[in-house]
Amino acid sequence: MEEKKSYIKELFSQTFIYGFGLLINRFISLLLIPLYTYYFLPDELGIFNIINSIWLVIGIFFVYGLDTSFIKYFATDKTKEERTLTYSTTIILLTVSSIIFSLIIYYFSSEISVIMKLDTYENSIFLLKLMCLVLLVDTIYRFPLLLLRAELQAKKYFIANIISVITNISFNFIFIVYLKQGIEAIFYSYIISCIITLIFTLYLTRKYLRLKFSFNKAKRLVLFGNKFIYVGLFILFIDVSDRFFIKYLLNDAEVGIYSVNYKLAAGMSLIIAAFRFAWTPYFLNLTENPDNKNIISRVFTYYTFAGLSLLFIFISFIPPIVKFKIDNFSILNENYWEGLKILPFIFSAYFFSGIFSNLYAAPFFAERTYMILIVTFFGFIINFISNLLLIPKIDITGAAIATLISYFAMSVMLYFLSQKVYKINYDWRKIIIISIIFIIGFLISHIIKNYLLEDKTTLSLLTDIIILIIIIYSLFYLKVIEKSRIKELFYRRN
């Protein structure tokens, strides 16, 4: 029993550390906004964001799924020699392929500038050529970090992440404020931060770094990982295409309202992203554990409890907090309040995206990861159709519901497919009880706040706090969630 507790605590600890690192990254990016908006004109930032979007899409092909296959094989390799060969082969393969891809983009940078209609900006070709170097270092530098994740070295990963962030922000100020560089300064800063972090992480992972290359290993890595190129593209489409649908089916103002309110879900997205960061290497390290199915089942139950708790907190607290006024100031301007209606659906979509990630374990263990590709493809189709049908009828709410439907459908499909190849006995009795109690809590909260209370801020917040306490106490009382195991997450053992 004690060992089982340690597994849940370890995953909780990993998720917390990754989450804190992601939070710092997000916070730093927000701090740089005043710097950029003060020194750069809107058209300069516009060209940067377009090239940044190109970078994000092309970056998927630069990695061609090797991030997923590397973690998979490295985590399941049994000896140091096997891990060394996997690591060295991956680094050499990516370095060679990234140089080739970068040279191709460099050579065709003029044509890309014309196709993307960037040729009106005089420095667009130079920025595209600079992007080639960004893609090269960005691709390579992330793999020593992946090794730290695969070894569950979350603290070392966090330190490396902090070094990257501090370096990036420092050089942004140096290049922009003191050296008076243009928009290219953002790329310079990122390149330098990647190189410094790469040197540090290569030092941390030096025991696995050798000039060894295996063509058989490279073939296995590529064949396993290539499908995740398309998985990444389908997920990217599901997450960002709604803005384009809103633009063409409604108008630009609605895109603005939708996007601003979508950003209010950042807290939930960070927590889910942190869970994903911790979960994949975590369950892969359970491959040889005879109790892995029970551990995965228990993690799923506790994720449901934690996820629904966060869902309740964010849905209940974010709208009144951002609408709360001091004199005439509120966190969210009144012009954007109509978009708050999308938040319950966006928060719920994030919850189900975590469920979807949770279900990855079975296809990985059964060597049936093509199932993830099939499911994300259908999720992409469902998202496309849902946006087309719902946005004209219920405006931006339709886009939010489309995202929720996509992740819910993907979770259901992956569950039934994965159970056929690697059956895990999830504790559905507990999961259903947890879900029903939270649904009752949501309904009571909605009725009280919308029909019984006139004060929509202070009293509504107090009401939701009381309801959440009752929900959690009820789950403890019914012994669906054990209080001792929750406490164990926050205390060190003697």
In contact, 217 and 89? CB cutoff 8 Å: yes
Contacts 24+ apart (CB under 8 A), 218-223: 218/89, 218/93, 220/69, 220/73, 221/66, 221/69, 221/70, 221/73, 221/86, 221/89, 221/90, 221/93, 222/64, 222/65, 222/66, 222/69, 222/93
User: Domain residues of the chain, as ranges?
Assistant: 1-225
Q: For residue 190, give the nearest of 157, 167, 173 by alpha carbon.
A: 167
Please enumerate in sequence order all residues whose Cβ is within 8 A of that of 433, keeping only pairs 6 or more positions apart, or say none.
475, 478, 480
What is the 8-class DSSP label of residue 338? G
Whole-angstrom distance, CA of residue 199 vs CA of residue 144: 10
β-partners of residue 326 are 329
β-partners of residue 325 are 330
> Between the CA of residue 458 and those of 320, 455, 483, what are the distances in Å?
8, 7, 29
* The dihedral formed by the CA atoms of 240, 241, 247 and 253, expressed in degrees to the nearest 10: -20
Q: For residue 28, give the nearest of 185, 169, 153, 127 by alpha carbon.
A: 169
> Which residue reads 């939708």 in tokens?
258
The single-letter code of the amino acid at 36 is Y
Q: What is the structure's pLDDT at 312?
A: 92
Q: What is the structure's pLDDT at 188?
A: 92
In contact, 179 and 172? CB cutoff 8 Å: no
Residue 325: helix, strand or coil by DSSP? strand
Determine the distance from the C-alpha atom of residue 411 to the mean position of all C-alpha atoms in its chain, rounded to a whole number.
Answer: 16
Q: Residue 120, Cβ neighbours under 10 Å: how many?
A: 9
pLDDT tens by residue, 304-330: 998 999 999 988 888 888 777 777 776
What is the 8-class DSSP label of residue 160? H
Residue 197: helix, strand or coil by DSSP? helix
**Burial (0-12, 13-18, 19+ Cβ within 10 Å), 58:** middle
What is the 8-class DSSP label of residue 448? I
In contact, 346 and 400? CB cutoff 8 Å: yes
pLDDT tens by residue, 70-129: 888 888 888 889 999 999 999 999 999 999 999 998 888 888 777 766 655 667 788 888
In contact, 397 and 342? CB cutoff 8 Å: yes
The single-letter code of the amino acid at 144 is P
- DSSP labels, 283-305: HHTTTT-TTHHHHHHHHHHHHHH
Local confidence pLDDT in tens for the 494 residues of the chain: 344 445 666 777 777 777 666 667 666 665 676 777 778 776 777 677 677 777 877 888 898 888 888 888 888 888 889 999 999 999 999 999 999 999 998 888 888 777 766 655 667 788 888 889 999 998 998 899 888 888 878 888 889 888 988 898 899 999 998 898 888 898 999 999 999 999 999 999 999 988 889 999 999 889 888 888 888 889 888 888 887 888 788 877 777 778 778 877 877 888 888 888 788 888 887 777 788 888 889 889 989 998 999 999 988 888 888 777 777 776 777 777 888 888 999 999 999 999 999 998 888 888 888 899 999 999 999 999 999 999 999 988 999 999 999 999 999 999 999 999 999 999 999 999 999 999 999 999 888 877 776 655 677 788 888 999 999 999 888 888 876 666 555 555 44
| Sign of the alpha-carbon dihedral angle for 484, 292, 302, 70 | positive
The single-letter code of the amino acid at 419 is Q
**Structure tokens given for 52:** 């940044």
In contact, 360 and 281? CB cutoff 8 Å: no
- Write down the pTM of the prediction: 0.81
